[in-house]
Amino acid sequence: MERTIETIEMGEKAMDEIVSLAKRRGFVFQSSEIYGGINGFWDFGPVGVELRRKIKDFWWKRMVYDREDVVGVDTSIIAHPETWKASGHLDCFSDPMVDCKKCKHRFRADELQGPVADSVHGHKPALKKCPDCGGELTEAKQFNLMFQTHVGASQDSTSVAYLRPETCQSIFTQFKNVLTTSRQKIPFGIAQIGKSFRNEITPRNFIFRSREFEQMELEFFIRPTEAEGKKWYEYWKAERLKWFYDLGIKKESLRQREHAKDELAHYARACVDVEYNFPIGWSELEGIADRSNYDLSQHMKFSKKDLQYFDDEAKEKYVPAVVECSVGVDRTFLTILCDAFAKDKVEGEERIVMRFAPHIAPFQAAVFPLSRKLALPAHILEKDLRKHFQTDFDDIGSIGKRYRRHDEIGTPFCITYDFQSEEDKKVTVRDRDTTKQDRIAIDQAGNYLRDKLRT
Ligand code: GAP
């Protein structure tokens, strides 16, 4: 039977509704909520953790498993403090901070000028008035974003260490070890997924800018010529866009914004932001940069170790250049929530539905017994599907309520085991987006899902 579905246009309140759904359905909770929360930190609930794993697995699949020229690493969060001198973070990784002399609110001076940005480039003079109370603002002070800690028992300046503000620096410092153990030849890449920490002055917009977050970074090492830089920069721009499309993100909500020459970091030859049209406006989702051979050269200088590459074929030695692709797990997570969030009316009844691409949905299928009396055979089916897919068994409340819950967590297929199933050995599969129902043989349920989930 055809069902009528009316789309409801999303208003400006979409972000508030997404935050509320994220909590209600177990995607994201405020960290330490029972103590009043801690600003800039978030916890991921039972449904959220599944979505995060799918994002990371899909990135790793495309960037490492599907390729012969990329290998992975998993490095420590705390590195030797010299790392951060060499990388420039100790001296330059800061944002300009201003305080209101009257209401004491604190702002990033560069943000008082305009759009959301992440990095430290392109400072402009601070505004003189507080946007909250009109009070006078202090002069801008540079505030280093790295979290400090101490290593070992002594708590003095000799034991200071930092939580990494990006995962890539250890990729550079381990370049030689990875090269010799993996037997890769240039061009090749090193990939890593891991936590990063930045003591952001104004963490905000839900998980868009947090103080603890996760990055997925690829450093792709190449010959240090301008032509190679251009070639691989264009290559990775196209690859990364394709990854977002394959995550199911709407093409019209993604764009790439090239940095102007005066916006580039001092080491970068070119840089582009992949931006998404969030409810807060177009904002950075990923940075792709041609970083020249600045990073390896700096680590050579500070460590006094030779990090050059010997090219057997050309019989020459050089410090490789690098094209970097750096994307946040949390920002991708938020993008997927925003992109999937939809409201419509099914037969006149309003619902919220998360239209995740089926392969990244937290659950691929849910199995419902129509009545508790049918729990046993329904459970047998669900356990069987669980071997191959992420599934949920749900026997609480009316079938309508169960559909609502699974629409809100984006389960693409809900399978109902009813009284007739005992006779005809069939179940009803309901499609999340169209709400259309198919009657299929129980022993074909796995094949049916496999077919629908093919990417
Ligand atoms: N290694 C290069 C680097 O870290 P970045 O532009 O500072 O570059 C890369 O960060 C990506 O990391 C951003 O595009 C964003 O997805 C994510 N990211 C950066 N700061 C973040 C924060 N405070 N909260 C959440 N994600 C963040």
Closest residue CA from atom 10 of ligand 1: 326
Asked if the model's pLDDT at residue 371 lies above 80, the reply is yes
3-state SS record for the chain: CCCCEEEECCCCCHHHHHHHHHHHCCCEEECCHHHCCCCCCEEECHHHHHHHHHHHHHHHHHHHHCCCCEEECCCCCECCCHHHHHCCHHHHCEEEEEEECCCCCEEEHHHHCCCCCCCCCCCCCCCCECCCCCCEECCCEEEECCCEEECCCCCCHHHEEEECCCCCHHHHHCHHHHHHHHCCCCCEEEEEEEEEECCCCCCECCCCECCEEEEEEEEEEECCCHHHHHHHHHHHHHHHHHHHHHCCCCHHHEEEEECCHHHCCCCCCEEEEEEEEECCEEEEEEEEEECCCHHHHHHHHHHCCCCCEEECCCCEEECCEEEEEEEEHHHHHHHHHHHHEEEEEECCEEEEEECCCHHHCCCCEEEEECCHHHHHHHHHHHHHHHCCCCEEECCCCCHHHHHHHHHHCCCCEEEEECHHHHHHCEEEEEECCCCCEEEEEHHHHHHHHHHHHCC
More confident residue, 310 or 204: 310
* Cβ atoms 296, 79 nearer than 8 A: no
**How far is the centre of ligand 1, averaged over its atoms, from the C-alpha of 231 (Å)?**
24
pLDDT band at 331 (very low <50, low <70, confident <90, very high): very high
pLDDT at 116: 46
Q: Which residue is closest in CA terms to ligand 1's atom 4?
A: 166
Question: Ligand 1 centre from 331 Cα, in Å?
Answer: 8
CA dist., res. 1 & res. 437, Å (int): 8
The overall average pLDDT reported for the chain is 93
pTM of the model: 0.93
Q: Where is pLDDT greater, at 157 or 113?
A: 157
348: alpha, beta or left? (left if phi > 0; alpha if psi -120 to 50): left
Strands 254-258 and 270-278: antiparallel
Candidate ranges 11-20, 93-102, 411-420; pick with highest mean pLDDT: 411-420
Q: What is the pLDDT of residue 122?
A: 41
CB of 192 closer than 6 angstroms to any ligand 1 atom: no
Query: Ligand 1 test: best mutation among 83, 87, 118, most atoms within 8 Å of CB?
Result: 118
Q: What is the mean pLDDT of residues 41-63?
A: 98
Residue 184 has pLDDT above 70, yes or no: yes
pLDDT at 13: 67
At residue 58, does pLDDT exceed 80?
yes
Distances, alpha carbon 256 to alpha carbons 55, 83, 234, 237, 339, in Å: 20, 31, 12, 8, 17
On the question of pLDDT at 10 being above 70, the answer is no
The response to whether residue 219 sits with its C-beta less than 6 Å from ligand 1 reads no
Rg (CA), the chain: 25
- Mean pLDDT for 246-271 is 94
When pLDDT is cut at 50, 70 and 90, the band that residue 352 belongs to is: very high
Q: How far is the CA of 208 from the centre of ligand 1 (A)?
A: 10
| Atom number in ligand 1 closest to CA 331 | 16
Q: What is the per-residue pLDDT for 127?
A: 63
**Nearest C-alpha to atom 24 of ligand 1 is from which residue?**
209
Residue 284 Cβ inside 6 Å of ligand 1? The answer reads yes
* Interatomic CA distance for residues 93 and 362, integer angstroms: 36
pLDDT of residue 359: 94
Assess whether the C-beta atom of 64 lies below 6 angstroms from ligand 1.
Answer: no
Percentage of residues of the chain with pLDDT beyond 90 = 81
The mean pLDDT value for 79-107 works out to 92
Q: Is 213 in the pocket of ligand 1 (CB under 6 A)?
A: yes
| For residues 102-121, average pLDDT | 70
Q: Is 209 in the pocket of ligand 1 (CB under 6 A)?
A: yes
User: Phi, psi at residue 169, to the nearest 5°?
Assistant: -60, -35
pLDDT, position 11: 63
Is residue 273 lining ligand 1, measured as CB closer than 6 Å? no
State the amino acid at position 19 in one-letter form: V
Mean pLDDT is lowest, of 101-115, 122-136, 261-275, for 122-136
Average pLDDT over residues 416-441: 96
pLDDT surpasses 70 at 402: yes
- C-alpha 393 – ligand 1 centre gap (Å): 37
Alpha carbon of 181 to ligand 1 centroid (Å):
29
Percent of the chain with pLDDT over 70: 95
The number of beta carbons lying within 10 Å of the beta carbon of residue 212 is 18
Ligand 1 centroid to Cα of residue 215, in Å, is 7
* Separation of CA 274 and ligand 1 centre (Å): 12
- pLDDT tens per residue, range 230-250: 999 999 999 999 999 999 999
Q: Residue 90 pLDDT more than 90?
A: yes
Q: What's the token pair of residue 281?
A: 């406006």
- Ligand 1 in reach of 288 Cβ (< 6 A): no
Instruction: Kindly tell me if the per-residue pLDDT of 119 is higher than 70.
Output: no
Whether 118 lines ligand 1, by a CB cut-off of 6 Å, is: yes
CA dihedral 294, 295, 296, 302 (to 10 degrees): 100
- State the pLDDT at residue 117: 47
Question: Cα(47) to centroid of ligand 1, in Å?
Answer: 24
What pLDDT does residue 347 have? 85
